[in-house]
Chain A
Amino acid sequence: MANITLRVNGSVQTVDVDPSTPLLYILRNDLGLQGPHFGCGLGQCGACTVIINGAAVRSCVTPCSAVKGEITTLEGLAQGGTLHPVQRAWIEEQVPQCGFCQNGQILNAKVLLDRNRNPTDAEIRQSMVGVLCRCMTYYRVQAAIKRAATSMAAAGTASAKGGVA
């Protein structure tokens, strides 16, 4: 066991765990977060995605001791009680079915839009390909990404700049 210090959604937390423990279990079981989900534990589905240093990271295969940057989870996406444009687009488009995978869909979409404000259909498919949904909400996820891109462009604000990750 060892003390591991993590910066998560703007706060600093220290836990005493085996340093090889995947980040996912710490976030869920020690820090009480409900956004990141266990889907496969193999890095294959994206349900456990968190954002670290602007990148989408699969927390189920990331040892907690390897994490250096600030971690943003789904809970940390809204700023000051205001939902991120991606989250708003998700509600407007009524994307989720069961919703279990949507943590991964939303955070990967956010990272995509931070890097590419106006992705083409092909770029969306390409960048989201490894984020699985067994309710098959892909069609609406893709529509919501385009909707978010439009609203972010209209707002003229760079979520990428102002973003926390």
Chain B
Amino acid sequence: MTTFTSIPKQIEDLLEQGSSAISRRNFLKGSGLFVVSVGAAAMADASPLNAAGTDQAAATAQAGGPYPDPNFRQLDSWIVIREDGTATFYVGKTDCGQGTGTAFRQMMSDELDIAYDKTTCVMGSTDTTVDQGGSGGSDAIQTDGWPMRRVAAEARRVLLELASARLAVPVDQLTVSEGVISVKADPSRKTTYGELIGGRRFNVTLTGNDINATTGIAKVKAVQDLKIVGQSLERYDIPAKVDGSLKWAVDVKLPGMLHARNVKPPVAGAKLVSIDESSVRGTPGFVKVVSKGNYVAVVCEREEQAISASRRLKVNWEKPATSPFPSSEDLYGYMRRATPTSNSRPNVVGDPDAALAGAAKTIEAEYDFPFQGHTALAPAHATADPSNGQMTIYSNDMKSYGLRNGVAQFLQIPRDQVRVVWMEGPQGYGRTAADDAGFEAAFLAKEVGRPVRMQWMRNEETAWDTKGPAYTFKLRGGLDAQGNLVACEYNAQAADFHHLGYNEPDTVLIAQLAGMGRTKPSSGGASTPSDMYAIPNRRMATAVVSLPLVFQTPLRTGNLRDPNGPQVTFASESFIDELAAAAKADPVEFRQRLLSAGAGDDSGFKRARSIAVVKAAAETFGWDTRSSPKPLGTGNILTGRGIAYAFRGQTVVAQIVEVEVNRRTGHVWVKRIVCAHECGLVINPEGLRRTVEGAMLHSLSRALHEEVRFDTEKVTSVDWSSYPTLTHADTPSRIDVVLVNGDPNPNRPDLPHYGAGEAACKPLIAAVANAIYDATGVRLRRVPFRDARVLAALKGSG
């Protein structure tokens, strides 16, 4: 298949518009035009190889489809400068609502030395932007920000060389500011980016074995020289979201477009026996029932017609012979009894058995964590256009590139005839059903030969969206006579057999239901705690268990914002608190002791930065040193505070919450949250604060409300009353996000920007559990902390 053959067509078109006198053919050849003959081009391999190892020229010759891959080794694929001195950055990411687009513009503007206001950013559409994979893993700034910075720096370098030629002055005697290059000794002699390259191609080849390594010759700026990075600029996408002018993926309308709705099996694992099409045939707007295997959809002219037809369609299903899963009531017992499908080799430090046997005091605890859904605010959707033998999918899927590749494979259409146009949508943070809807829309569009808009209904989304895996945990710890933690044993089991990847053509729901899916499950995984505690004897073991039904199941698992982090940290950081209580130690001091005792490698200063965030959180909160629980209060409202800490990659986070527990109703209100957060170089502090707030409240929602319920046939969480979420009423009255720079050398010129978003999801649930314990003396070991469960626990404690 052809890869890396061209710069995006849209960019060619745009440049052509900007220079109408120049014919497109000349343009593409670069003949009769200015050609930048500077170092980068010469240095780069003259005939770069694509991923498949074929020669680029040969690949170009093979290129047939309308949507070849933009070539990431061409500077023109990343940056276009117009005659008016404005610039557009084309990046291969998507913005899930954290303002990463604004951050990309800040970084690239800074490196290019152009005013932020003169720039725009285009993201995530597979035919116009290089493939940086879309979003995921909080890597936008941490990983993808680097090639963006480097290509912008390279563009600046090339422009300086052009100016040097034009002004007949060596580069080192030039200075550049906001797109204007002038002679240092005589500032009246100057030229602009627009004059130098506006509307024309750079024609500069970049190097790098993969897109993350993309680079020219220029070096990025030292941190101290960055001016736009570090400013809290307003997000450019917000005005259109506030005045109603944004065109979202749900808003796509195409000539001849039809509306589709799915008809899902009423019982997990049911087999389609027959469809009585006469139940909908002849009703207004009815076009077609499409079915394959157990996949069924209805296509109609209008949206409300498709909804009503999907409800009226009579389908005969045969229940599976055995139950697809235990009920949610029995889930944890089932998981503990199940024979694991896989065990990881335990991670062992020291001799935990001997240390536990010799400990002055040992404690043991079990924790449970339910399946939870992404359950985006609006259900999954996509619109597919099959016209002219190509396939275009309009989607908010955060991994648009993967969707394109997956659909091409699934429908067996050449990749260069498929594109995904990324547009904004409701975010679910992870492997959501947006993947599934994209495949379904494309499949149906191909079947009916007209554009099809697919949207799931609320009950489908809540029941069938991929789930974050349920966990059971068992932890043991031993303290010496002085209350020091000498040993800790961690055992986790995740109900994560057959964890779904993103946009896999053989695991998306339609492939599974239609009998076109894989039959050998992927093995899934369970995670271990992420902390920098120095525990001399430690064993961490994980296992994966399976529910009876592996495929075609609504309890399918996939990445959910900070995959596994909230589950694992709930158990591990609750248990650290239990140990602190057993040692009668203050929870902050207990953690600081464990952190400070570490003598091992601290590359990236992660241990030092962990100590710094715990300290900053405690100071900001006004933490008073004492052990938990506090003496039981007398009124109906009991208050308490709890801390938890974790890292994700290099980003370290400590969170402290203050709770009010109503001992009459069991209701928990998190009144205040303090978060100390350290992610290296911050691009946009106010943007980051809001991202951290959202991530923490997402975890708060998971702590207080979220649990997927099911009986032995089907998921019974189907809407916002059976799958409650955080509401305005739960909102803390105060949130402080402290952006700590605990790096021992914060002024280092190469301070990296670490992934910031998902780290903030990790500690919160444990912090809430620890605060409830502080307030009430009752330890909650099962999520969520809904009123009834809390009340029962309070009563149980007498």
Q: Interface of A with B (CB < 8 Å)?
A: 1, 17-18, 21-22, 25, 28-29, 32-35, 37-42, 44-45, 47, 73-75, 77-78, 83, 87, 90-91, 94-103, 106, 121, 124-126, 128-142
> Quick check: which of B474-482, B534-542, B653-661, B689-697 contacts chain A, the rest being far away?
B689-697
Contact of B244 among A17, A74, A124, A137 (CB under 8 A): A74
Q: Which residue of B248, B250, B700, B719 is within 8 Å of A136 (Cβ)? A: B700
**Binding site secondary structure of chain A:** loop
CB atoms of B246 and A142 under 8 A apart: no
| Stretch of B108-116, B487-495, B728-736, B773-781 at the chain-chain interface | B728-736
**Among B4-12, B74-82, B373-381, which stretch is in contact with chain A?**
B373-381
Q: Are B426 and A134 in contact, with the CB atoms below 8 A?
A: yes
Given A39-B377, A125-B729, A139-B731, is A97 in contact with B244 using a C-beta cutoff of 8 Å? Answer: no
A18/B246 contact (C-beta < 8 A), A94-B238, A134-B426 known: no
The interface residues of chain B lying within 8 Å CB-to-CB of A90 are: 238, 242
The reply to whether B728 and A100 contact each other, CB–CB distance below 8 Å, is: no
Closest 7 CB pairs of A and B: A98-B97, A136-B697, A99-B241, A35-B244, A74-B244, A97-B97, A100-B426
A141 to B234, CA, bound (A): 16
Interface string of B453-485 (1 = CB under 8 A from A): 001011000000000000000000000000000
Q: Is B721 an interface residue (CB 8 A)?
A: yes
Q: A37-B426, A100-B427 are in contact. List 6 more A-B contacts (CB 8 A).
A: A25-B304, A44-B721, A96-B241, A97-B694, A136-B726, A138-B727
B527 to chain A, nearest CB (A): 23
* Among B246, B303, B728, contact of A25 (Cβ-Cβ < 8 Å): B303
What per-residue 1/0 map shows which CB atoms of B370-394 lie under 8 Å from chain A?
0000011111000000000000000
Asked if B425 lies at the interface with its beta carbon under 8 angstroms from chain A, I say yes
Please determine whether A134 and B427 come into contact, CB atoms closer than 8 angstroms: yes
A34 engages B700 (CB within 8 Å): no
- Please give me the residue from chain B that is nearest to A29 by CB atom: B303
Q: Given the known inter-chain contacts A25-B304, A134-B375, A135-B97, please indicate yes or no for A100 contacting B425, CB distance below 8 A.
A: yes
Which chain A positions have C-beta within 8 A of B378?
Answer: 37-39, 47, 100
Instruction: Write the residues of chain B forming the contact surface with A, with a CB cutoff of 8 angstroms.
Output: 96-98, 234-235, 237-239, 241-248, 250-251, 253, 284, 302-304, 307, 375-379, 424-428, 455, 457-458, 686-687, 690-691, 693-694, 697-698, 700-701, 719-721, 725-733, 735
Across-interface contacts of A132 in B (CB, < 8 A): 377, 720, 725, 727
Q: Within the complex, which residue of A40, A41, A75 is in contact with B243, where a contact is CB–CB below 8 Å? A: A75
Cβ-defined partner of B729 (8 Å) among A42, A126, A135: A126
Q: Could you tell me if A137 and B694 are in contact, using CB atoms closer than 8 angstroms?
A: yes
**Tally of A-B residue pairs with Cβ under 8 A?**
175
Q: Please measure, in the bound complex, the distance between the C-alpha atom of A73 and the C-alpha atom of B720, giving whole angstroms.
A: 24
- The 14 sampled A-B contact pairs (Cβ below 8 Å) are A25-B302, A28-B303, A34-B246, A39-B458, A45-B377, A78-B243, A87-B243, A91-B239, A97-B96, A97-B427, A97-B690, A100-B377, A125-B731, A132-B727
Contact: B700 with A121, CB < 8 Å?
no
The reply to whether B729 and A129 form a contact with Cβ atoms under 8 Å apart is yes
Residues of chain B contacted by A41 (CB below 8 angstroms): 307, 457-458
Residues of A within 8 Å of B425, CB to CB, are 98, 100
Closest residue to A96 on the B side, CB-wise?
B241
CB-nearest residue of chain A relative to B701?
A136
CB neighbours (8 Å) of A126 from chain B are 729
- Residue contact A139 to B697, C-beta cutoff 8 Å: yes
User: How far, in whole Å, are A133 and B728 apart by their CA atoms in the complex?
Assistant: 9
Q: By the criterion CB–CB under 8 Å, are B426 and A34 in contact?
A: no
Among A39, A42, A75, A102, contact of B245 (Cβ-Cβ < 8 Å):
A75
Instruction: Name which residue of chain B comes closest to A133, CB basis.
Output: B377
Return A56 CB to nearest CB of chain B, in Å.
14
Contact of B727 among A75, A97, A129 (CB under 8 A): A129
Is A44's CB under 8 angstroms from B719's CB?
yes
Contact between chains at B246 and A99 (CB < 8 Å): yes
Are A75 and B728 in touch, CB under 8 angstroms?
no
Asked if residues A42 and B428 are in contact (CB atoms below 8 Å), the reply is no
Q: A77-B243, A121-B733 in contact; A18/B284 too (CB < 8 A)?
A: yes
In the complex, what distance in Å separates the CA atom of A159 from the CA atom of B527? 53
Contact of B98 among A17, A45, A97, A121 (CB under 8 A): A97
* A77-B244 in contact (CB<8A): yes
Chain B residues lying within 8 Å of A133, measured Cβ to Cβ, are: 377
Complex CA–CA separation, A131 to B529 (angstroms): 35
| Closest partner residue, chain A, to B700 (CB atom) | A136
Give the one of B243, B253, B691 with max A CB within 10 A: B243
* Chain B residues with CB under 8 A of A91: 234, 238-239, 242
- A45 CA to B376 CA, complexed, in Å: 11
Cβ contact of B235, chosen from A45, A94, A130, A139, cutoff 8 A = A94
Q: How far is the CA of A33 from the CA of B247 in the complex (A)?
A: 10
B729 touches A134 (CB 8 A): no
Measured between C-beta atoms, what is the minimum distance from B658 to chain A in Å?
15
Inter-chain contacts of A140 with B (CB < 8 A): 690, 693
- Shortest C-beta distance, B291 to chain A (Å), equals 24
Q: Which interface residue of B253, B427, B727 has the most chain A CB atoms within 10 A?
A: B727
CB closest chain-B residue, reference A48:
B378
A96 to B427, CA, bound (A): 12
Question: Considering only CB atoms, which chain B residue lies closest to A135 in the complex?
Answer: B694
The answer for the CA separation of A106 and B98 in the assembled complex, in Å, is 19
A40-B720, A91-B234, A138-B727 known; A102+B690 contact, CB < 8 A: no
Contacts of B698 in A (CB 8 A): 134-136
Q: Is the CB of B458 within 8 A of A99?
A: no
A128 touches B728 (CB 8 A): yes
B701 proximity list for chain A (CB < 8 A): 136
Chain B residues closer than 8 Å to A78, beta-carbon distance: 243
Could you tell me if B693 and A139 are in contact, using CB atoms closer than 8 angstroms? yes
Cα A69 to Cα B250 in complex, Å, equals 27
Contact check, B245 vs A34: say whether CB atoms are below 8 A apart: yes
Determine the distance from Cα of A47 to Cα of B455 in the docked complex, in whole angstroms: 16
- B726 contact set on A, CB distance < 8 A: 136, 138
CA gap between A82 and B522 in the complex, in Å: 54
Return chain A residues, CB-CB under 8 Å to B303: 25, 28-29
Report the bound CA distance from A32 to B726 in whole Å. 31
Query: Are A34 and B247 within 8 A (Cβ)?
Result: yes
Assuming the A-B contacts A101-B426, A139-B732, are A96 and B238 also in contact, with contact meaning beta carbons closer than 8 angstroms in the complex? yes
**Most chain B C-beta atoms within 10 Å of own C-beta, residue among A22, A45, A121, A141:** A45
Contacts of B97 in A (CB 8 A): 96-99, 135
Closest to A100 in B: B426
A83 — which chain B residues lie within 8 A by C-beta? 242-243
Contact B732 A101 (CB under 8 A): no
Closest to B461 in A: A40
Tell me whether A94 and B377 are in contact in the complex, defined as CB-CB below 8 angstroms, given that A100-B426, A140-B690 are known contacts: no
Q: Please indicate the chain B residues that have their CB under 8 angstroms from the CB of A34 in the complex.
A: 244-248, 251
Which residues of B sit under 8 angstroms from A97, Cβ to Cβ? 96-98, 427, 690-691, 694
Residues of A within 8 A of B96 (CB): 97-98
Tell me whether B241 and A94 are in contact (CB under 8 A): no
Q: B453 to nearest A CB, angstroms?
A: 9
Contacts of B730 in A (CB 8 A): 138
**Is A96 within 8 A of B242, CB to CB?**
yes
How far is A34 from B241 in the complex, measured between Cα atoms in Å? 10
Name which residue of chain A comes closest to B695, CB basis.
Answer: A136
Best-buried of A42, A97, A129, A132 by chain B (most CB within 10 Å) = A97
CB distance from B655 to the nearest CB of A (A): 14
State whether A102 and B242 are in contact (beta carbons under 8 Å apart), knowing that A42-B458, A134-B375 are contacts in the complex. Answer: yes
CB-contact partner of A138 in B98, B424, B691, B731, under 8 A: B731
Contact of A40 with B687 in the complex, beta carbons under 8 Å: no
CB < 8 Å: which of A25, A28, A124, A139 contacts B735? A139
Give CA–CA (A94, B96) in the complex, Å: 15
CB distance from B537 to the nearest CB of A (A): 39
Residues in A whose Cβ lies below 8 Å from that of B694: 97, 135-137
For A21, what are the chain B residues with a Cβ–Cβ distance below 8 Å? 304
Contact residues in B for A73 (Cβ distance below 8 Å) = 244
Does A129 contact B728, Cβ atoms closer than 8 Å? yes
Which of A29, A45, A94, A125 makes the CB contact (< 8 A) with B728? A125
